[in-house]
Amino acid sequence: MPRSFTVERESLPAVVQRWIEAIGLGEEELVELVFTERELLIRRPMSPHLRAWAEAMCDQYDRAFRQIVGI
């Protein structure tokens, strides 16, 4: 299950800041780090409205998946 958090870019270690610069987010004050089972995604934070919508959609998909597999 993905976990994410938003952090000030300046609070990150130097090597992570270089990753952020390499992907074109070096001017962003905030970045969002999303951890999945096998990936780390670095992106601009979504708007609060879009984030709430996305979480609601994920919840619906999670419920449907659990019903299908009988969890």
DSSP assignment string, the chain? --EEEEEEGGGS-HHHHHHHHHTT-TT-SEEEEEE-SS-EEEEPPPPHHHHHHHHHHHHHHHHHHHHHHT-
What per-residue confidence (pLDDT) applies to 51?
A: 67
Give 24-46 pLDDT, tens digit per residue: 888 888 888 888 888 888 888 77
Q: Encode pLDDT of 4-22 as tens digits.
A: 777 888 888 899 888 888 9
Q: pLDDT per residue over 38-70, tens digit each? A: 888 888 877 777 667 767 776 777 778 778 887
User: Can you give the pLDDT at residue 1?
Assistant: 56
The reported pTM is: 0.53
